[in-house]
Amino acid sequence: MIEIQRRQILVDGVPRIVMAGEIHYFRVPREEWPQRIALLKEAGCTAVASYIPWLVHELPDGRIDVAGETRPERDVAAFIDLCAQEGLWFIARPGPFIMAELKNEGLPFRLYDEHPEIVPVGWDGTPATTRTVDYLAPAYLAECRRWFDAVLPPIAQRLQPNGGNVIAVQLDNEVGMLAWVSNTPDLTDHLLDDLRRWVREQHAATVADRYPVDLDDDAAWAAAVRSPEEKWAGALRLDLGTFMRDRFARYVQALREMAEANGVQGVPFVINIHGTAGGDGAPFPIGISQLVQTYARVPGMLSGSDHYMGDMNLSTTTDLYVLNAFMAAVHDEDQPITSMEFEAGTGDYGGGTEMLYDPATVDLKTRLSLAQGNRLINYYLFAGGINGPLDQPVGDGNDRISFTGERHGTAAPVGPEGQKGLTFEATARAVHAANALEPWLARMDEEHDAVQLGFVLDSYMTEYHHPDSAVMTDVVEDLSAHRGAGQRKALGRSLLLDGYRFGAVDLQHDDPRPGGVVALAVGRHLAPDVQRRLVAHVEGGGGLLLLGPLPRLDLEGRPCTVLADALGVRPGEVVRESAHTYPSVVTHGWAAPWAETRVGWWQELHPVRGDVVLTDTTGRVCGVDVPLGAGRAVVLSAEVLPSTHLFGRALRRLGAHPGLRVESSVPGVYATTTADTDGHRLVHLLNITGYTPIVRLALDGHDLHDGQDLVLPPRSGFMLPLGLDLPWARIEWANAEIRSAGEDSVTFGPGLGHAGDPTATVVVLRTDREVPETDAYTAERDGGTVRVVSRPGAGPLEVTPA
């Protein structure tokens, strides 16, 4: 039985961390399937995931072969059963869309030829540049039903609740992504009809004023949407994005009903969220915004991230932390975060030796995601393969199923021919670390300080804007520049580097933590309801740290100064850098001293009360500390650099203090803690740099590890125990990670040192059992506590009681 409860995944009642790897059975000769699965098991994975592509299984005559009658690699059940024989769970991803570098994103060519009405046009009636379709077109849904009727029955027979190994089924893939990346909404005649119905329902009393066209005239309505005039462009941008959220939800619900009709019940359905672009994770929440109604707070649904951000560095660490926090913010109290496509590999996707990620990247990203509550991680792509020929040539240059050529997955931990890749060992290291700590980690949640990053879904509703519309473009450019972690990712990065452990709050649906601080990066446009929620939070005794221009417009571009009026601050002129203008700012009051700092822009503020904390070099105000009701707000209207000094002092002024103090000789060390309801705790440490910093930690005012320094190797991560129960002892603390734990022993990896020996392993146990000294370690008892210290050169340390 698979249950989703308390942000955990329970398999037969036991909380689990599912570590999966993607193997495309259809790209691997059937006789080689066992070898790929063996490598996956060697890496420690407990599950296999795979797309099941419609394009591969539909034959030229229209028949669908999922039983291997025409080619052995088409036997879906045989692959799932082989995984089961090896003790592995299976995650099925049957589309209809799958992407995966397949032509038509995995749809048969026939659909586009037989049903031209499903093929969208975009702005000004221009044909779509991608192979997207109108998801709710009747002909397309009928074809989807035909595909699901063929592919889902053998999957349903193998569901875990039915005695099989299938633990989850993904519905479609990256819904809405193609329209976003091309800025081409799916404006078919069918969709326009649906949109017209929707706007009439949503704006019944004002629809004629909102859209001053003849709504009963199909041609006039089509022109109004495809080529909007400026007087309704702002309203249309907002309506179209909101409408598409609803439409995507109806599409996924239709797929779910088809799946359930085919017996897929009792396991979670998963939605894969896209959003990273060009190695940048900042746009990822666009996917959350598009798909939030398909899964958030919907029973039986999970969301999975899909991210490709390259090396783990100061920028991508911020991106990953923020995207995980934003995913969790829209979930209900039971839904955990997962990752359905977790980038694993060298980044050399073209096979031309043009990219080579640091091998520690996959290990560091895994560790950060586990610390933030990821319960399922699917490494994509774990094993490469070969793109076979299309059954019916189309004359496109290679006539293969994929546009990547013959070999696929050249960057993967396992290469196209089944050879171990450069990142295999690093991937295995991450998986084995997760498995060793699963008994505790699967029950733990990240601990948070009294600060939440503000998440505004509509700030990410930027997937569609007519390129000739000044109104649409202005809103989209403003939102895109300031949202999320802020410009230069200054807000999110500063919080992380200052040791804050934070989650996020969905400001469109949820009230912030009472008395806590909301840290929000914002542009000039902010919806009235969000502005009112922020005002109520501060008036009620909360804090607000606002970074960016003070909002003065709503999302349609109309004046809206609810927040500014409540704060008593009038936004003024914005000064921007140019070829001969070098704007700089200086701090005042509690924010001082701080070196004068160049900024890309600053906005003059005119407060009626409060304290000035930031000005330009001539004294014009751009930062204020303002009391409001029982709380207060700090407004920083400038493009400042990331700074633990400035943002840390602002948060402390607002009442939020980091419970985990991290002192490091090098910036780039990140730390957080996880805990369960029984008091078990892990300290998660990441050194994403190539340096070897000396680190000292304190938690809730108490020094950790007896106040000793920790020596963090370059590009390394650790999950250090802090009060973990074993059958025979309690680990009070250790400066090393658990590698395995049994009934009568526990083994640790390399230690992070202590005074006099920078590589020593130190373990402090509370136990009644005797722990005799060995050639590998000394053991000193003080009452019920035993302090175990490794001898020089001991290596991994196994502690065994008498």
Task: Name the CATH superfamily, with its identifier, for domain 661-799.
Answer: Beta-galactosidase, domain 2 (2.102.20.10)
Q: For position 518, what pLDDT does the model report? A: 98
> Which two tokens mark 560?
């809206």
Q: Are 748 and 737 in contact (CB under 8 A)?
A: yes
Half-sphere exposure of 149 (CA within 13 A, CB side): 7
Give the chain's mean pLDDT.
Answer: 96
pLDDT, residue 755, reads: 57
Cα–Cα distance for residue pair 635/559, rounded to 1 Å? 20
In this structure, how many other beta carbons lie within 10 angstroms of the beta carbon of residue 513?
Answer: 17
Is the CB of residue 769 less than 8 Å from the CB of residue 763? no
Q: Of how many residues is the chain composed? A: 802
Q: Which amino acid is at 736?
A: A
Q: Give the model's pLDDT for residue 586.
A: 97
- Any idea where the domains of the chain sit in the sequence? 2-119+138-182+267-444, 451-653, 661-799
Which contiguous run of DSSP H or E holds residue 781?
Answer: strand 777-782
Strand partners, 500: none
Looking at the DSSP assignment, which residues form a beta bridge with residue 451? 517
Give residue 728's identity as a one-letter amino acid code. Answer: W
Token couple for 455: 């998440």
Task: Please state the rounded mean pLDDT for residues 125-137.
Answer: 96
Beta carbons of 141 and 254 less than 8 angstroms apart: yes
Distances, alpha carbon 481 to alpha carbons 327, 488, 509, 547, 625, in Å: 20, 9, 23, 12, 24
- The confidence score (pLDDT) of residue 794 equals 75
Region of residue 105 (left: phi > 0; alpha: psi -120 to 50; beta: else): left
Pairing relation of β-strands 584-587 and 611-616? antiparallel
pLDDT digits (tens, 9 = 90+) for 132-175: 999 999 999 999 999 999 999 999 999 999 999 999 999 999 99
pLDDT of residue 795: 77
Spell out the residues 6+ positions from residue 426 whose beta carbon is closer than 8 angstroms to its own: 359, 360, 361, 362, 363
- Looking at residue 796, what is its pLDDT? 84
State pLDDT tens for residues 638-682: 999 999 999 999 999 999 999 999 999 999 999 999 999 999 999
Task: Name the one residue in this structure whose structure tokens are 């894969």.
Answer: 272
**CA 542 from centroid of its chain's CA atoms:** 27
Q: Among 92, 116, 79, 101, which residue's Cα sits nearest to residue 20? A: 92
At residue 14 the predicted structure's pLDDT band, cuts being 50, 70 and 90, is very high
Q: Which CATH class is domain 451-653?
A: alpha beta
Rounded-to-integer distance, Cα 150 and Cα 59, Å: 13
- Return d(Cα 387, Cα 403) in angstroms, integer: 9
Question: What are the C-alpha distances in Å from 283 to residues 185, 463, 597?
Answer: 18, 10, 27
Q: Please tell me whether residue 65 adopts helix, strand or coil conformation.
A: coil
- Cα atoms found within 13 Å of the Cα of residue 724, Cβ hemisphere only: 27
Find the mean pLDDT for residues 762-782.
94
Supply 564's token pair: 């500014």
| The token pair that represents 751 in the structure block | 């230690």
Q: Which two tokens stand for residue 612?
A: 């000035």
DSSP 589: G
The burial class, CB within 10 Å (0-12 / 13-18 / 19+), for 323 is buried
The predicted pLDDT at position 240 comes to 98
- Beta strands 451-455 and 445-446, pairing class: unpaired
The residues facing 631 across adjacent strands are 628
Tokens 């359930």, located at residue:
260
Task: Judge whether 132 and 174 are in contact, CB under 8 Å.
Answer: no
Residue 358 C-alpha from the chain's centroid: 21
What fold is seen in the domain 2-119+138-182+267-444? Answer: TIM Barrel (3.20.20)
Span 569-617, pLDDT tens digits: 999 999 999 998 999 999 999 999 998 999 999 999 999 999 999 999 9
Could you give the angle at the alpha carbon of 185 between the alpha carbons of 181 and 186, nearest 5°?
120
Mean pLDDT of 676-690: 97
Helix, strand, coil % (nearest 5) of the chain? Answer: 30, 25, 40
Beta partners for 437?
none
State if pTM tops 0.85.
yes
DSSP readout, 417-428?
TS-B-TTHHHHH
Model confidence over 283-340: pLDDT tens digits? 999 999 999 999 999 999 999 999 999 999 999 999 999 999 999 999 999 999 999 9
Mean of pLDDT values over 508-515: 97
Beta-strand runs (E) in 94-187: 166-170
> Averaged over 194-214, what is the pLDDT?
96
pLDDT at site 773: 93
Q: Which residues pair with 498 in a beta bridge?
A: none
Bridge partner list, 517: 451, 543
Q: What percent of the chain has pLDDT over 70?
A: 100
Phi, psi for 791 (deg, rounded to 5): -80, 155
Give the whole-angstrom CA distance, residue 329 versus residue 446.
13
- pLDDT number for residue 753: 83
Residue 17 Cα to chain centre, angstroms: 17
Using the 8-state DSSP alphabet, how is residue 103 labeled?
G
Q: How far apart are CA 329 and CA 453, in angstroms?
A: 10
d(CA 688, CA 313) in angstroms, rounded, equals 6
Q: What is the pLDDT of residues 228-260, one digit of tens each?
A: 999 999 999 999 999 999 999 999 999 999 999
What 3-state class would DSSP assign to 414? Answer: strand
Q: CA–CA separation, 661 vs 695, rounded Å?
A: 10
Separation of alpha carbons 660 and 682, rounded Å:
12
Helix (H) or strand (E) holding 650: helix 644-653
